[in-house]
């Protein structure tokens, strides 16, 4: 009887779904039906005979079939829900979805992602959008491999914390708008990191600009926020415009936006040089590299705490991810052609940003310049074209995502309490905020790539890669690390040691140490950073084969 | 697990001695305390969350004692002093992608220093009975330091060495910055900048040496020793390592962090700084420069000797000019480290083993002297010698202890310092490698240093204890409630623990030298072979020219 029931159910399901799929070609409805039927099936199976395997099958059907499109649907649903619920309820819904996404991705990685898949792309899914297909052939292609999964993971880890931090605040004007922006940023980031279609990638890449620049311009701290927002938007948008032209150009040559098609297409050398350079402008403004870096300190200084966290830990990673995903595999000749340029610029950025960080007085500017330095070390790792260098670059980016997010959170905590970020006015915080000071110390230590933290693993692997092809570059990167020690220790001792300044005496009675939420967030970051530093293998294992494939062009 | 049990059928004493203090450190937060530590921030400003002070003290003493006992057990049960190779080998894979293994071991170079470290740290915890301000954090850091220091000496993987070398910086930084004297911020920042920046050279050299090693890089010392670097890269590596370890030792142009750091540290931290941290530099010079890079060592040996002579005389002379008691003693330890440098550069086994003995004996004597400085500071609340004087009548026992320690430090015959210095100088002057004139000049300079040392040490004794009581005419020193406080039993116990080995070694040095003799002999014979093999002209004429001319011509490397 049981067998019959199961057979009957699955047959029914497949008939219905196939029918709907054929007739309407409407995937969302199909997934909804699949989910509902799955739940139904689950209930029946659970009622008649408990079988862990069928439970697993149901979970797989719901969560592991085309997961990223489902995530997008969920987010769009929540975004369109905004006008109909109250702010607090909306915050609860959004943060629930964000946390849910985190567990969703963890579930995928734990059970379905294979580190040994040589083909690379997993959860591959291709669904065409009819509206666009009348004009150009545009597919929603989603897939992850061992490179992008780290960035997806970082996104779904950082964003719930951003939502969580919103609970600290009392309700303020336009809070719902802020939450919608966060949702929008998260879904755009997930799309950008999982899509294999160039045009979709750039749509997601640029769609982040709107919520982000509004976040800076509307919720920023000072009067200069308008200018910062303007700078941020202009730098990112204008540089991305080059890539937009490039995409059209590629489409006119190769007739597709699909990376998998483009990988088989052979561009000639002049096309490669042209294309690579345009992509480089886009990504180098995002990383940011030396001539295009001015927007970053401005934007950081003016952005709200959550905005800074997202900016440093997630948005900058789009540039590095773009290099690994698009520039390296698609245009190997272009890479070789511009290798000296990109290495010079990255090296210049490392040294320049490190020196600049030493002379800053604003805490956020210090961390912003240190972000520039770290991201450019990652770029050097990427363009060392060495397996360790690439792995190290990815690891550096991930650990920098965690550490800089934590540091910006801590700076936000300082700003909430003292209304200043200048290290001139701060001092002696270890007396009044002992818990804060110890966390600040740990994250500063992480920032200087101290052994035992994730930053050390990343930087060490990167340095192995850099060392293997050029000692000169290696030497100057090391100088960047020297300077990192200098400004980190300087910042820490200015802020936490020394005497309490008069200004702090003023707030001294009213200031409290970390609240429980802040403390938990920081502990989470700290645990992760040290865990990755001690057991990096769990996280490096996925990137081995995909990076080998990327490097096949360069043997 | 099976293979693990079969291949390591004995007890991993070294791992126990490293891991136990670390575990102890991370369990400190759960020690029961009566009050919540964060009732009001003002409690913390007034210092002292001494809610579980007594428990904390005995707790940390317990864990450091476990560490000490396990190193002693390792020495007794598994260490054979007649064997020159590596013993007590413990090796587990940790992070394969970095080729980082948890591989520990001890040979003649490291075993005495491991014992010294656990011994001195144990006494330093006993010495920190006087610490009242934030004891929880203080003892946490002391335990972490204990683990890190033993790991530095026991590590057999260069990345693990780098990791522990860096790891021990953070506790020292915090111990200086939180419990230090008035200029503590400056001192702590200077310390961490000097040492953290110089230690990056270790990483560079590790990468360079491992990349020469073939397809699969390995950072194990045994594999690095097998990697045959060409002479140019050896020399580059040697110079980089000399900077890295020269900061720690310290070698004179790189020494300026030390008087500041020592001048600001509290007594227990001071004991660790002088007793152990300086030894890390000497140990690392022996381990890496002399053992792994023999060809470059042959080139650089005269430079080491010269730097050693400069260290001895310069630091001894500077010690005169200093007004603060702590800084005087700090410079005296720089001066003593000069003998280690001469012993390293002399390329003779008598002298090198003298250098080793000097490290051990200075570890004991330096720790005891710095502890006594702390004891004096507790009683007089000043470090300026000008404000002190005539306390000998009130503190008779302290006077006796001071005198013994100063005599030990100025190398009185019968103390270990004397044996060590004589071994270094005798070995150097009989070394066949150098010309007679060079040997004579260096010996005279070093002897000059030996003469200056008693002068300033005895001057300290005179100013401190003899003469008029400063309290009569100067209200600065000797606050009234402390007037009659002489050395308490705890202090006498600590000093006697440190001084009795000094006397035993001084009377019968073989008790120490035998434990590392074979390792040193193997090391030196390899270095001498390298020196005679690589140098084109006869080894006896090596230093007829100015030693710096032996340094590599930089144009060759481009």
- What span, in angstroms and rounded, lies between the C-alpha atoms of A178 and A183? 9
B205: closest chain A residue by CA:
A467
Q: CB-based contacts of A490: which residues, under 8 Å, 6+ apart?
A: A358, B189
Cβ-nearest to B38 among A464, A474, A513: A513
**DSSP helix/strand/coil, A144:** strand
Q: Collect all residues of chain B within an 8 Å Cβ-Cβ radius of residue A486.
A: 193, 197
- Quick one: three-class SS letters along A246-282? HHHHHHHHHCCCEHHHHHHCCCCHHHHHHHHHHHHHH
- The whole-number pLDDT of residue A482 equals 86
Domain count, chain A: 2
**pLDDT above 60 for A251:** yes
**pLDDT above 80 for A128:** no
Q: Are residues A436 and A548 in the same domain?
A: yes
- What span, in angstroms and rounded, lies between the C-alpha atoms of A506 and A418? 10
List Cα–Cα distances, B242 to A221, A232, B205, in angstroms: 50, 47, 11
Cβ-nearest to B44 among A431, A445, A464: A431
Cite the DSSP H helix spans in A135-224.
148-166, 175-194, 198-207, 209-219
- The whole-number pLDDT of residue B46 equals 43
Candidates A534, A463, A450; CA nearest to A492 is: A450
Rg (CA), chain A: 24
Angle at A453 between CA A451 and CA A456, to 5 degrees: 55
Q: Are residues A128 and A17 in the same domain?
A: no
- The whole-number pLDDT of residue B61 equals 92
Is any Cβ of chain B less than 8 angstroms from the Cβ of A339? no
- What span, in angstroms and rounded, lies between the C-alpha atoms of A448 and A523? 19
Residue labelled with tokens 């150097």:
B428
pLDDT band at A28 (very low <50, low <70, confident <90, very high): low
Q: Collect all residues of chain B within an 8 Å Cβ-Cβ radius of residue A467.
A: 207-208, 211
- The whole-number pLDDT of residue A26 equals 56
Is any Cβ of chain B less than 8 angstroms from the Cβ of A391? yes
Q: How many CA atoms lie within 13 A of A9 on its CB side?
A: 19
Cite the DSSP H helix spans in B322-348.
325-345
Please tell me the distance in Å from A372's CA to the nearest CA on chain B. 20
Q: Are residues A10 and A124 in the same domain?
A: no
User: Is pLDDT larger for residue A223 or for residue B65?
Assistant: B65
Q: Are residues A21 and A146 in the same domain?
A: no
In a domain, A44, yes or no: yes
A–B interface: beta-carbon pairs under 8 A: 80
Is any Cβ of chain B less than 8 angstroms from the Cβ of A432? yes
Q: CB-based contacts of A362: which residues, under 8 Å, 6+ apart?
A: A301, A421, A422, A423
Residue of A394, A470, A489 to mutate for B, most B C-beta atoms under 10 A: A489
Q: Are residues A407 and A484 in the same domain?
A: yes
Please tell me the distance in Å from B496's CA to the nearest CA on chain A. 37
Q: What is the mean pLDDT of chain A?
A: 85
- The whole-number pLDDT of residue A169 equals 76
pLDDT band at A47 (very low <50, low <70, confident <90, very high): low
- What span, in angstroms and rounded, lies between the C-alpha atoms of B441 and B438? 5
Phi, psi (deg, nearest 5) at residue B85? -80, -170
Residue A450 and residue B174: Cβ atoms within 8 Å? no
Candidates B56, B49, B2, B53; CA nearest to B24 is: B56
B189: closest chain A residue by CA:
A489
pTM of the model: 0.84
Candidates A490, A466, A282; CA nearest to A370 is: A490
Please tell me the distance in Å from A432's CA to the nearest CA on chain B. 5
Please tell me the distance in Å from B215's CA to the nearest CA on chain A. 12
Q: Collect all residues of chain A within an 8 Å Cβ-Cβ radius of residue B196.
A: 448, 485, 489
Candidates B230, B246, B406, B392; CA nearest to B332 is: B406
What are B155's strand-pairing partners?
Answer: B104
Cβ-nearest to A451 among B41, B163, B178: B163
Q: CB-based contacts of A442: which residues, under 8 Å, 6+ apart?
A: A526
In a domain, A85, yes or no: no
A499: closest chain B residue by CA:
B185
B217: closest chain A residue by CA:
A464
In a domain, A57, yes or no: no
Surface-to-core class of residue B227, CB atoms within 10 Å of its CB (0-12 exposed, 13-18 middle, 19+ buried): middle
- The whole-number pLDDT of residue A88 equals 86
Residues of chain B predicted below pLDDT 70: 1-9, 32-51, 213-215, 469-484, 534-558
Characterize the bridge pairing of strands B100-106 and A139-144: unpaired
B202: closest chain A residue by CA:
A478
Phi, psi (deg, nearest 5) at residue B89? -75, 130
Q: Could you tell me the residue range of the domain that residue A16 belongs to? A: 1-49
Tokens of B435: 């010309």
Tokens of A271: 């096309």
Candidates A326, A319, A467, A329; CA nearest to A392 is: A467
Tokens of B181: 């004297």
B199: closest chain A residue by CA:
A482
Please tell me the distance in Å from A143's CA to the nearest CA on chain B. 27
Residue B38 and residue A434: Cβ atoms within 8 Å? yes
Q: Collect all residues of chain A within an 8 Å Cβ-Cβ radius of residue B177.
A: 493, 497
In a domain, A399, yes or no: yes
Phi, psi (deg, nearest 5) at residue A502? -60, -35
Please tell me the distance in Å from B185's CA to the nearest CA on chain A. 7
Is any Cβ of chain B less than 8 angstroms from the Cβ of A366? no
Residue B282 CA, distance from chain mean position: 7
- What span, in angstroms and rounded, lies between the C-alpha atoms of B104 and A247? 56
Please tell me the distance in Å from A482's CA to the nearest CA on chain B. 6
- The whole-number pLDDT of residue A27 equals 58
The DSSP letter of residue B168 is: T
Listed by start position, the domains of chain B span 294-473+481-533
Residue B98 and residue A457: Cβ atoms within 8 Å? yes
List Cα–Cα distances, A461 to A450, A456, A540, B227, in angstroms: 14, 8, 11, 21
Residue B404 CA, distance from chain mean position: 21
pLDDT, one tens digit per residue, over A525-548 is 999 999 998 888 877 888 888 888
Residue A167 CA, distance from chain mean position: 22
In a domain, A96, yes or no: no
Please tell me the distance in Å from A490's CA to the nearest CA on chain B. 8
Residue of B203, B244, B247 to mutate for A, most A C-beta atoms under 10 A: B203
Is any Cβ of chain B less than 8 angstroms from the Cβ of A536? yes
pLDDT, one tens digit per residue, over A310-349 is 999 999 999 999 999 999 989 999 999 999 999 999 999 9
- What span, in angstroms and rounded, lies between the C-alpha atoms of A253 and B274? 71
- The whole-number pLDDT of residue B125 equals 93
Residue A431 and residue B196: Cβ atoms within 8 Å? no
- The whole-number pLDDT of residue A504 equals 58
Q: Collect all residues of chain B within an 8 Å Cβ-Cβ radius of residue A482.
A: 197, 200
List Cα–Cα distances, A69 to A163, B399, B517, in angstroms: 22, 82, 71
Backbone dihedral region for residue A42 (phi beyond 0: left; psi -120 to 50: alpha; all else: beta): alpha
pLDDT, one tens digit per residue, over A392-427 is 999 999 999 999 999 999 999 988 888 888 888 888
Quote the percentage of chain A above a pLDDT of 70.
Answer: 86
Overall residue count recorded for chain A in this entry: 555
Tokens of B199: 């230690």
Residue labelled with tokens 């509206």:
A131
Q: Collect all residues of chain A within an 8 Å Cβ-Cβ radius of residue B97.
A: 388, 391, 461, 536-537, 540
Neighbours of A269 (CB within 10 A): 12
**pLDDT above 70 for A354:** yes
- The whole-number pLDDT of residue B215 equals 66
pLDDT band at A183 (very low <50, low <70, confident <90, very high): very high
Largest interatomic CA distance in chain A: 81
Residue A485 and residue B197: Cβ atoms within 8 Å? yes
Residue B41 and residue A431: Cβ atoms within 8 Å? yes
Overall residue count recorded for chain B in this entry: 558
What are A128's strand-pairing partners?
Answer: A139
**pLDDT above 70 for A162:** yes
First-last CA distance in chain B: 50
Is any Cβ of chain B less than 8 angstroms from the Cβ of A457? yes
- The whole-number pLDDT of residue B29 equals 80
Residue A431 and residue B204: Cβ atoms within 8 Å? no
Cβ-nearest to B162 among A451, A467, A485: A451
- The whole-number pLDDT of residue B378 equals 81
Residue A467 and residue B189: Cβ atoms within 8 Å? no
Please tell me the distance in Å from B138's CA to the nearest CA on chain A. 13
Q: Is the peptide bond prior to B250 cis by the omega test (within 30 degrees of 0)?
A: yes
Cβ-nearest to A452 among B38, B167, B207: B167
Residue labelled with tokens 């805490």:
A363
Q: Collect all residues of chain A within an 8 Å Cβ-Cβ radius of residue B204.
A: 474, 478
In a domain, A401, yes or no: yes
Cite the DSSP H helix spans in A383-470.
387-418, 429-432, 434-447, 454-469
pLDDT, one tens digit per residue, over B90-130 is 888 888 888 888 999 998 889 999 999 999 999 999 998 88
**pLDDT above 90 for A432:** no
In a domain, A532, yes or no: yes
Residue B306 parent element (H or E): helix B294-321
Q: Where are the beta strands (DSSP E) in B4-117?
A: 87-95, 100-106
B173: closest chain A residue by CA:
A489
What are B103's strand-pairing partners?
Answer: B91
- What span, in angstroms and rounded, lies between the C-alpha atoms of B546 and A313? 56
DSSP readout, A331-371? -HHHHHHHHHHHHHHHHHHHHHHHHHHHT--BHHHHHHHHH
Q: Collect all residues of chain A within an 8 Å Cβ-Cβ radius of residue B144.
A: none
- The whole-number pLDDT of residue B99 equals 84
What is the complex's ipTM, to 2 decimals? Answer: 0.78
Residue B185 and residue A391: Cβ atoms within 8 Å? no
Residue A460 and residue B203: Cβ atoms within 8 Å? yes
Please tell me the distance in Å from A468's CA to the nearest CA on chain B. 8
Residue A174 parent element (H or E): none
Is any Cβ of chain B less than 8 angstroms from the Cβ of A121? no
Cβ-nearest to A451 among B41, B167, B204: B167
- The whole-number pLDDT of residue B532 equals 76
Candidates B99, B63, B81, B71; CA nearest to B12 is: B71
User: Is pLDDT larger for residue B207 or for residue A27?
Assistant: B207
- What span, in angstroms and rounded, lies between the C-alpha atoms of B331 and B455? 14
- What span, in angstroms and rounded, lies between the C-alpha atoms of A386 and A394? 12
Please tell me the distance in Å from B95's CA to the nearest CA on chain A. 7
């Amino acid at each position: 009887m049981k067998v019959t029931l199961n057979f009957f159910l699955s047959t029914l399901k497949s008939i219905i779904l196939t029918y709907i799929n054929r007739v309407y070609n409407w995937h969302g409805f199909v997934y909804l039906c699949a989910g509902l039927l799955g739940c139904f099936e689950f209930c029946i199976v659970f009622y008649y005979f408990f079988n862990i395997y069928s439970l697993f099958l149901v979970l797989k059907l719901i969560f592991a079939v085309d997961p990223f499109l489902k995530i997008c649907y969920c987010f769009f649903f929540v975004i369109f829900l905004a006008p109909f619920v109250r702010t607090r309820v909306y915050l609860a819904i959004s943060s629930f979805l964000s946390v849910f996404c985190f567990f969703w991705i963890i579930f995928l990685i734990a059970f379905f992602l294979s580190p040994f898949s040589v083909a690379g792309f997993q959860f591959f899914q291709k669904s065409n959008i009819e509206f666009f297909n009348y004009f150009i052939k545009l597919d929603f292609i989603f897939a992850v491999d061992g490179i992008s999964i780290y960035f997806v993971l970082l996104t779904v880890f950082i964003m719930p914390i951003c939502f969580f931090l919103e609970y600290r605040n009392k309700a303020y004007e336009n809070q719902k708008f802020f939450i919608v922006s966060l949702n929008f940023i998260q879904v755009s980031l997930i799309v950008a990191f999982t899509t294999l279609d160039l045009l979709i990638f750039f749509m997601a890449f640029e769609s982040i600009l709107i919520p982000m620049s509004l976040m800076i311009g509307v919720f920023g701290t000072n009067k200069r926020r308008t200018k910062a927002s303007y700078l941020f938007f202009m730098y990112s948008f204008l540089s991305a415009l080059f890539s937009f032209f490039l995409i059209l150009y590629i489409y006119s040559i190769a007739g597709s936006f699909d990376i998998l098609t483009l990988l088989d297409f052979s561009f000639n050398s002049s096309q490669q040089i042209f294309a690579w350079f345009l992509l480089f402008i886009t990504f180098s403004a995002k990383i940011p590299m030396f001539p295009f870096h001015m927007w970053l300190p401005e934007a950081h200084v003016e952005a709200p705490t959550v905005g800074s966290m997202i900016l440093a830990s997630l948005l900058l990673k789009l540039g590095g991810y773009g290099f690994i995903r698009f520039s390296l595999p698609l245009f190997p000749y272009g890479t070789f052609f511009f290798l000296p340029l990109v290495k010079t610029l990255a090296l210049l950025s490392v040294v320049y940003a490190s020196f600049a960080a030493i002379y800053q007085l604003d805490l956020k500017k210090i961390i912003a310049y240190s972000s520039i330095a770290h991201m450019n070390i990652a770029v050097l790792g990427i363009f060392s074209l060495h397996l360790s260098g690439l792995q190290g670059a990815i690891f550096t980016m991930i650990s920098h995502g965690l550490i800089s997010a934590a540091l910006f959170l801590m700076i936000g905590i300082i700003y909430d309490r003292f209304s200043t970020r200048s290290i001139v006015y701060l001092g002696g915080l270890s007396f009044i905020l002992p818990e804060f000071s110890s966390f600040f110390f740990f994250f500063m230590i992480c920032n200087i790539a101290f052994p035992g933290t994730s930053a050390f693993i990343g930087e060490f692997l990167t340095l192995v890669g850099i060392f293997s092809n050029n000692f000169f570059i290696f030497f100057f990167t090391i100088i960047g690390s020297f300077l990192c020690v200098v400004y980190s220790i300087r910042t820490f001792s200015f802020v936490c040691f020394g005497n309490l300044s008069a200004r702090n005496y003023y707030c001294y009675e009213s200031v409290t140490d970390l609240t429980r939420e802040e403390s938990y967030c920081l502990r989470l970051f700290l645990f992760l950073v040290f865990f990755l530093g001690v057991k990096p293998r769990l996280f490096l294992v996925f990137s081995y084969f995909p990076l080998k494939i990327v490097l096949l062009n360069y043997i | 697990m099976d293979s693990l049990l079969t291949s390591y059928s004995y007890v991993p004493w070294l791992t126990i001695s490293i891991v136990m203090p670390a575990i102890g450190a991370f369990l400190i937060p759960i020690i029961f305390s009566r009050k919540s530590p964060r009732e009001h921030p003002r409690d913390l400003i007034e210092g002292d969350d001494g809610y579980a002070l007594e428990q904390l003290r005995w707790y940390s003493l317990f864990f450091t004692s476990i560490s000490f006992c396990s190193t002693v057990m390792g020495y007794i049960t598994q260490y054979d002093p007649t064997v020159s190779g590596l013993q007590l080998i413990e090796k587990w894979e940790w992070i394969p992608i970095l080729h980082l293994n948890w591989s520990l071991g001890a040979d003649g170079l490291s075993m005495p220093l491991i014992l010294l470290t656990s011994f001195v740290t144990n006494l330093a915890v006993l010495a920190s009975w006087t610490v009242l301000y934030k004891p929880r954090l203080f003892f946490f850091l002391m335990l972490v330091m204990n683990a890190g220091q033993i790991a530095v000496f026991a590590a057999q993987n260069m990345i693990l060495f780098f990791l522990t070398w860096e790891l021990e910086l953070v506790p020292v930084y915090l111990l200086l910055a939180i419990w230090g004297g008035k200029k503590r911020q400056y001192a702590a920042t200077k310390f961490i900048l000097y040492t953290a920046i110089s230690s990056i050279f270790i990483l560079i050299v590790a990468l360079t040496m491992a990349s020469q090693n073939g397809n699969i890089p390995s950072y194990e010392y045994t594999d690095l020793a097998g990697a045959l670097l060409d002479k140019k890269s050896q020399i580059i590596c040697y110079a980089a390592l000399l900077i890295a370890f020269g900061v720690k030792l310290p070698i004179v142009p790189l020494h300026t962090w030390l008087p500041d750091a020592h001048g600001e540290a509290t007594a227990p931290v001071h004991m660790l700084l002088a007793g152990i941290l300086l030894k890390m530099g000497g140990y690392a010079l022996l381990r890496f420069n002399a053992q792994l890079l023999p060809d470059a060592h042959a080139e650089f040996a005269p430079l080491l000797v010269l730097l050693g002579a400069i260290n001895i005389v310069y630091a001894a002379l500077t010690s005169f000019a200093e007004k603060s008691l702590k800084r005087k003693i700090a410079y005296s330890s720089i001066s003593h480290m000069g003998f280690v440098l001469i012993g390293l550069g002399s390329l003779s086994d008598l002298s090198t083993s003298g250098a080793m003995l000097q490290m051990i004996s200075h570890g004991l004597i330096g720790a005891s002297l710095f502890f006594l400085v702390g004891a004096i500071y507790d009683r007089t609340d000043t470090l300026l010698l000008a404000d002190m004087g005539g306390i000998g009548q009130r503190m008779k026992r302290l006077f006796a202890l001071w005198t013994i320690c100063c005599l030990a430090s100025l190398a009185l015959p019968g103390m270990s310092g004397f044996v060590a210095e004589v071994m270094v100088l005798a070995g150097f002057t009989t070394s066949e490698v150098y010309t007679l004139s060079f040997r004579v000049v260096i010996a005279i300079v070093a002897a000059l240093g030996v003469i200056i040392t008693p002068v300033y040490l005895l001057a300290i004794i005179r100013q401190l204890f003899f003469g008029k009581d400063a309290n009569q005419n100067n209200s600065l020193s000797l606050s009234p409630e402390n007037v009659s406080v002489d050395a308490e039993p705890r202090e006498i116990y600590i000093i006697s623990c440190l001084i009795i080995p000094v006397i035993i070694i001084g009377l019968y040095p073989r008790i120490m030298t035998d434990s590392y003799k074979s390792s040193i002999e193997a090391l030196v014979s390899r270095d001498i072979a390298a020196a005679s093999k690589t140098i084109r002209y006869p080894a006896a004429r090596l230093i007829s020219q100015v030693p710096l001319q032996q340094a590599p011509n930089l144009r060759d490397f481009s």
